[in-house]
């Protein structure tokens, strides 16, 4: 094993990992595919020298491998933002060989666009939260199909609000539906009921997993934050102090306006296309609640409406301000979390 310090770039795939090793001057010492196993990667790299830093592009499965290399091998592993890395490429061609080389070079010169490597417990919580969101989205889509089928067959219940118990009873018994339409809706309703039970089971599991989490406890004590909102914030943000400013947090959540200025023209172009869409939607829903019940945010919403801002812009602006306020409220709890 050589005594020189080396920089490693890993281009991750499910079946194999392309491993590139560079020395301090950028000379490539090795570049080959290894088995997708931390032991095989460590054995190959240590034949080239002592590891200084490692870069791996963030993708499905990469975080688990990065965690294994950090825990078992003691390496300094950084996740790279795939979008920014792609923009830095000087060639339109793509191969695992060149991708691994570029990652190693970026971490060597200190230009690697890093993203946060969440700890194992946070990644597990994310899986639960995102699974719950998938079930909720599926249930919503089935409900939309039911309403669409009722409109298609011109069935309308004038007496009951949709999705109440009497309304569901009316849907099952109405004679306005065709034979096939009734059969389809019956199956849809059974699936909605099953999804409701699945969502309840996931929420029970989430409640047990976060029962003693200090961040969730504090979030629940703040106005406008329920259990689902607290779970989402805890899972997706992880730690509030990993952001240097509250503005960075708002940008991570996709609640910052995108700058579209050129020359003397100064303009915004809607919200930036960044972050988890479910997280952004949750923050905007929280902003609507806060504007209804909390005087501070209600007043801000009224000011923006008085200036002629549309409702969607008002909700996004209030969500942005609320996130920046929340950033400062959460700072004292980071050591405990």
Supply the pLDDT for residue 264. 66
pLDDT at residue 2, as a whole number = 60
Q: State how beta strands 50-57 and 5-12 pair.
A: parallel
| Per-residue pLDDT, 262 | 63
Residues 289 and 226: beta-carbon distance below 8 Å: no
The distance in angstroms from the start CA to the end CA of the chain is 40
Quick one: pLDDT at residue 88?
79
Tokens 């296309």 identify what position?
273
Per-residue pLDDT of the chain (337 residues; tens, 9 = 90+): 566 899 999 999 988 999 999 999 999 999 999 999 999 999 999 999 999 999 999 988 899 999 999 999 999 999 998 888 888 777 777 889 999 999 999 999 999 999 899 999 999 999 999 999 999 999 999 999 999 999 999 988 878 899 999 999 999 888 889 999 999 999 999 999 999 999 999 999 999 999 999 999 999 999 889 999 999 999 999 999 999 999 999 999 988 887 766 666 666 667 777 778 999 999 999 999 999 989 999 999 999 999 998 988 999 999 999 999 999 999 765 554 4
Whose tokens are 């960075």? That residue is: 248
Closest CA to 232 of 122, 147, 108, 154: 122
Residue 260: what pLDDT?
A: 65
CA-CA distance, 118 to 176, in Å (whole number)? 53
| pTM of the full structure | 0.86
CATH superfamily of 5-115: ATPase, nucleotide binding domain (3.30.420.40)
Give the number of residues written for the chain.
337
């Amino acid at each position: 094993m050589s005594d020189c310090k080396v920089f490693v770039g890993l281009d991750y795939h499910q079946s194999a990992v392309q491993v590139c090793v560079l020395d301090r001057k950028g000379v490539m010492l090795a570049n080959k595919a290894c088995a997708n196993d931390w032991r095989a990667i460590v054995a190959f790299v240590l034949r080239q020298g002592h590891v200084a830093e490692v870069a791996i592009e963030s993708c499905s499965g990469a975080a688990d491998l990065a965690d294994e290399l950090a825990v078992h091998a003691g390496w300094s592993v950084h996740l790279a933002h795939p979008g920014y890395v792609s923009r830095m490429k000087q060639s339109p061609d793509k191969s695992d060989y060149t991708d691994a080389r570029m990652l190693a070079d970026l971490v060597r010169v200190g230009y690697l666009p890093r993203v946060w490597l969440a700890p194992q417990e946070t990644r597990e919580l994310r899986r639960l939260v995102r699974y719950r969101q998938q079930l909720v989205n599926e249930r919503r889509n089935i409900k939309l199909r039911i309403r669409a089928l009722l409109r298609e067959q011109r069935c309308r219940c004038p007496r009951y609000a949709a999705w109440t118990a009497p309304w569901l009873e009316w849907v099952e018994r109405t004679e306005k539906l065709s034979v096939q339409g009734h059969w389809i809706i019956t199956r849809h309703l059974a699936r909605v009921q099953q999804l409701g039970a699945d969502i309840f089971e996931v929420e029970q599991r989430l409640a047990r997993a976060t029962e003693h989490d200090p961040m969730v406890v504090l979030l629940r004590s703040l106005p406008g934050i329920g259990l689902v909102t607290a779970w989402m914030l805890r899972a997706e943000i992880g730690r509030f102090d990993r952001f240097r400013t509250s503005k960075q947090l708002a940008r991570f959540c996709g609640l910052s306006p995108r700058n579209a200025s050129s020359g003397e023209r100064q303009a915004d172009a809607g919200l930036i296309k960044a972050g988890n869409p479910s997280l952004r939607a949750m923050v905007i829903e929280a902003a609507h609640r806060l504007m209804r019940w909390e005087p501070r945010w209600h007043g801000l919403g009224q000011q923006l409406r008085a200036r002629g801002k549309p409702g969607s812009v008002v909700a996004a602006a209030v969500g942005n301000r609320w996130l920046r306020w929340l950033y400062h409220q959460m700072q004292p709890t980071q050591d405990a979390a």
